[in-house]
Structure 1
């Protein structure tokens, strides 16, 4: 233990928010130092990463949906968990190398945020990937706890704090008190499902095929959960499903709002289910404390209004919701000695 603490003086210990859409890395004392898409470009049929292992993140995201037959742009995480072990390892290795330098003197200790609903096998996959990617020691922290700490909620106090973290692959809903999770539910419906709903709507209503990046742009520019401003329009380009030729069309924010209702209702059901299972004393606290929204999905217009209407509780959006989990892992790093007992590591 003393030797490990001594090594930590020379290592660049880091916290990683290993997300389905984006991976954020923060370093103890420096804050967030890296924010890149969780995308890797590989030679088709192999797991060999292009550009000598450097076609990761922004470089690879630009290739999504635009690659020739010999190249594949892969997102190695699906629904918040590892779907491709080797490619995740290559991605983590690239990010650790980028933050830590090419040949670090001492390997870093790494805190990784994982969805609360993942299985023991999925946790083992994250631990093994991080170790093989160059981590000296790996600790896992549950995403809702990291998000709540990053959002400055009083999680260590004897009062209820509720977080709804809407990421790319999973939505985490948790009620916390006394530095632990009292009630939690993880559902694999989140930002990616909102994009998928937009893609399906364009197919059904306009016979137009669009890609993931176009769907995401539509969601960001005109998507909403409730009517919060005047309806707007956006021009969408894609491939006509009948003629097979490129085509463009104009759609309204109102029809995108309708298209998003199904995945949003799943998220709302998860929030209300978690509240229904909550202890009465904690429920009483939430009347005053309300709900905090984090994750990229918190930026969808009107989502706080919809959750507030469904629950009757005040709903606030965290400051910089996209980085809440990463900031939480950074705070964990600073208090590693105190909180180590509450985390899972490779020595379990």
Structure 2
């Protein structure tokens, strides 16, 4: 069918579709819909058959269902995280994951063609940007817009990103930490640090192996981080029982871990994030720096939920820091607002996405 005949057809399908904003993260994918807010928040994990590459359960082994399989699959099945450090590592699996989320939003209706806004890391290459666009189009999107994650986060938490005032946003995700100074609907200075929540989990895994001779998996490490992890001293230090495999004997074993030792394990990735923020502050123009004396640092993302992270940033950098309300959904909320105000934020789009 000629392309000029397809356009009216796609327009009709679009009338029956729900436009979506997607925070396509390394660890979690959140979907926001106009007027309904966040309607999906699931892990960015897909369970596939190694031999055929097909998604299990007729394409439904995605998100929470697939994450439960991480580290527990038999030989013929693999639980895959298709994004690494915020960019697509497995094109086909990412497409299948996006198709699952689009179908779920539309309650399994076929022949839908929504407009989709996807948040991507700062500084990804043109090839990586095109990979995201093509994956979404092949998954069923009618039109795909890309927005940098810090801008989406700033919009989502209500920072004055369109005004001539500097705002510093730090999005601590699973695979990357996105840091940007925003003003006049654009990024003044920005960077993407490949140290984030996954590296915190890895630090806990390494600590348990070295100090307790205990091997644990990613999910256990994440539970430890969320339960007793911290970046600053806690009012009351905690402890928890951790189960895994003995490094020496190879047998199942349990041990007790304290919040003090977990904080020590997390100190290195936290320090790296603080140093990256320092680097951005040093690059900011003087007038922007004057604004940041008052507005400080706004923290979002799953990593912002780490106890005491704002205090650690303030103590190390000497600038006020705060965790935004509902930090985990900030980027997804921003993509939805962006979709509602395309004319206002059109300058954020690259030529390719605005075509």
Q: TM-score range by the shorter chain?
A: over 0.9
Change (3 A) 1:130 1:164: same
The Cα shift of 1:312 comes to: 1.4
The 2-side partners of 1:142 and 1:4 are apart by 27
Report how far residue 119 of structure 1 moved. Answer: 1.2
- Cα distance in 2 for partners of 1:160, 1:347 equals 26
Give 2:122's match in structure 1, choosing from 110, 116, 123: 116
Does 2:225 match 1:219?
A: yes
Q: Which residue of 1 aligns with 2:140?
A: 134
Alignment match, 2:35: 29
Give the match for residue 4 of structure 2: none
Structure 1 range deviating more: 338-347 or 229-238? 338-347
* Residue in structure 1 matching 2:187, options 181, 203, 220: 181
Q: Structure 1: where are the runs of 5+ without partners?
A: none
Alpha-carbon distance in 2 for matches of 1:338, 1:2: 26
Q: Deviations over 1:210-241 (max 9, x none)?
A: 00000000000111111032221111100011
Q: Does 1:43 align with 2:49?
A: yes
What displacement does 1:342 show? 2.3
Partner of 1:52: 58
Equivalent residue number for residue 283 of structure 1: 289
Provide the rounded CA distance (Å) in 1 between the counterparts of 2:10 and 2:271: 47
Instruction: Kindly indicate whether the alpha-carbon contact (under 8 Å) linking 2:191 and 2:280 is maintained by their aligned counterparts in 1.
Output: yes
1:298-320 Cα offsets, whole Å, 9 max, x none, are 01011101101122111111000
In the alignment, which residue of structure 2 is the partner of 1:17?
A: 23
Rounded Cα–Cα distance in structure 2 between residues aligned with 1:322 and 1:347: 28
Distance in 2 (CA, whole Å) between partners of 1:273 and 1:92 is: 35
Separation (CA, whole Å) in 2 of partners of 1:72 and 1:51: 13
The answer to whether structure 1 residue 246 and structure 2 residue 248 are counterparts is no
SS in 2 for 1:260: helix
Against the structure 1 CA distance between its residues 237 and 220, is the aligned structure 2 distance closer, same or farther, given a 3 Å change threshold? same
> In the aligned structure 1, how far is the partner of 2:59 from the partner of 2:13?
28
Cα shift at 1:324: 0.1
Measure how far apart 1:5 and its partner are.
7.8
Q: Deviations over 1:53-90 (max 9, x none)?
A: 11000100111111111211111111111111110111
Q: Quote the Cα distance in structure 1 between the aligned partners of 2:189 and 2:177.
A: 14
Cα distance in 2 between the residues matched to 1:66 and 1:179:
45
1:81 corresponds to which residue?
87
- Aligned-residue CA RMSD (Å): 1.8
User: 2:345 maps to what in 1?
Assistant: 339
Q: Deviations over 1:231-276 (max 9, x none)?
A: 2111110001111100000111111111111111110110000000
**1:160 aligned partner:** 166
In structure 2, relative to structure 1, the CA distance for the partners of 1:193 and 1:8 (3 Å cut) is same
Contact 2:10–2:113 (8 Å) recurs in 1: no
Query: Partner residue of 2:3?
Result: none
| Unaligned 5+ runs, structure 2 | 1-6
Deviations 1:267-292 (A, max 9, x none): 01100000000000000011111111
Query: How many equivalent residue pairs?
Result: 348
Structure 1, 271-280 or 152-161: larger mean CA deviation: 152-161
CA distance in structure 2 between the aligned counterparts of 1:4 and 1:62, rounded to whole angstroms: 37
Show the counterpart of 1:236. Answer: 242
Instruction: Work out whether residues 112 and 140 of structure 2, in 8 Å CA contact, stay in contact via their aligned partners in 1.
Output: no
- The answer for the alignment partner of 1:107 in structure 2 is 113
CA distance in 2, matches of 1:202, 1:173: 30
Tell me the SS of whatever aligns to 2:345.
helix
Among 239, 261, 264, the alignment partner of 1:258 is 264
